[in-house]
């Protein structure tokens, strides 16, 4: 919990069937494994990644270095 103190995040309530991730995690397959994998991706990361997609000079650097291929 202490690691979360420095992060900027929002907790949003989703009720019932709208919360499919929690629903999937609460259900187990016959062999006892869960049926979902959850990954937290910060909002700022999504914004940075999106900005690269529209920047031609960044695309050229990626092509030259083989990043993202």
Structure confidence at residue 32 (pLDDT): 60
Number of domains in the chain: 1
Q: Do 24 and 35 contact (CB within 8 A), yes or no?
A: yes
Cα–Cα distance, 69 to 62 (Å, whole number): 8
More confident: 16 or 28: 16
Please give the mean pLDDT across all residues of the chain.
Answer: 75
Structure confidence at residue 37 (pLDDT): 60
Structure confidence at residue 29 (pLDDT): 57
pLDDT tens column, 26-48: 665 556 665 566 677 888 888 88
Which domain, by its residues, includes 53? 2-65
Check pLDDT > 60 for residue 69: no
Q: Helices 56-65 and 43-53, interaxial angle, to 10°?
A: 90
Structure confidence at residue 24 (pLDDT): 62
Q: Which residues contact 68 (CB under 8 A, 6 or more apart)?
A: 62
């Amino acid at each position: 919990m202490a690691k979360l103190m420095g992060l900027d995040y929002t907790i949003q309530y989703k009720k019932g069937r709208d919360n499919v991730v929690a629903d999937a995690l609460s259900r187990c397959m016959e062999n006892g494994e869960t049926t979902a994998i959850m990954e937290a991706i910060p909002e700022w990361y999504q914004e940075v990644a999106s900005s690269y997609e529209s920047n031609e000079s960044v695309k050229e650097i990626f092509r030259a270095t083989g990043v993202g291929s």
